Structure 1
Amino acid sequence: MPDVGGITADHLRSYIERIERLEEEKATLSADIREVYAEAKGTGFDSKIMRQIIRLRKMEAADREEQEQLLDLYKAALGMVESPPDQDL
């Protein structure tokens, strides 16, 4: 295939086709994940809470602790908890 404006068409087509295949795989995986959440919900688990747990598990422990401390601090400031948390940030 000839170059057009300095771009090799075959090389470009190769990238585009790889991306398209990956997008198809991503769609399949997303559907599989939705099915697992639906299955868990069907057995009584809360999918929103499960998503939060998964997000928290991806975080570093120190980042997770800091986020939890800030959340507790903000809740205390808004009167959403009875006693303020330790404020050793």
Structure 2
Amino acid sequence: MDIGNGPEGSATGGIAADRLRSIIERVERLEEERKALGSDIRDIFAEAKSAGFDVKVVKQIIKLRKQEPAEVEEQETLLDIYRRALGM
């Protein structure tokens, strides 16, 4: 599988080194961005907590907002049925 010496850069052992380096560096940059975003999200949850919001509930709301309304309704119906079955 020799890629050759085309626009992808010099090939070593069948690997286009410039292309490989580019792919690795792009993934590394995205991982750094993800790390920064995770830190930003933690900061926002800390802000919510300091404002008196229950972070666990806020996370549940975020999860629900990602779902389809029919899916949420079905889960809530089942939750209600299960609660009643347990006398809650």
TM-score under structure 2 normalisation?
0.82
Q: Distance in 2 between matches of 1:74 and 1:13?
A: 54
Q: Does 1:23 align with 2:31?
A: yes
Q: How many residues align?
A: 79
Which amino acid in structure 2 is aligned with residue 50 of structure 1? V
In structure 1, the residue matched to 2:11 is 2
The alpha-carbon deviation at position 79 of structure 1 amounts to: 1.9
TM-score under structure 1 normalisation?
0.81
For residues 8-37 of structure 1, what are the alpha-carbon distances to aligned partners after superposition, in whole Å with 9 as ceiling and x for unaligned?
222121111101100100110110010011
In structure 1, the residue matched to 2:4 is none
In structure 2, the residue matched to 1:11 is 19
Out of 39, 49, 60, the residue aligned to residue 68 of structure 2 is: 60
Q: Distance in 2 between matches of 1:66 and 1:54?
A: 17
Unaligned 5+ runs, structure 1? 81-89
In structure 2, the residue matched to 1:48 is 56
Which 4+ stretches in 1 moved above 3 angstroms? none
Q: Does 1:73 align with 2:81?
A: yes
Identity %: 61
Report the more deviating stretch, 9-18 or 24-33: 9-18
* Bigger radius of gyration among the two: 2
Note the aligned Cα RMSD (angstroms).
1.2
Unaligned 5+ runs, structure 2? 1-9
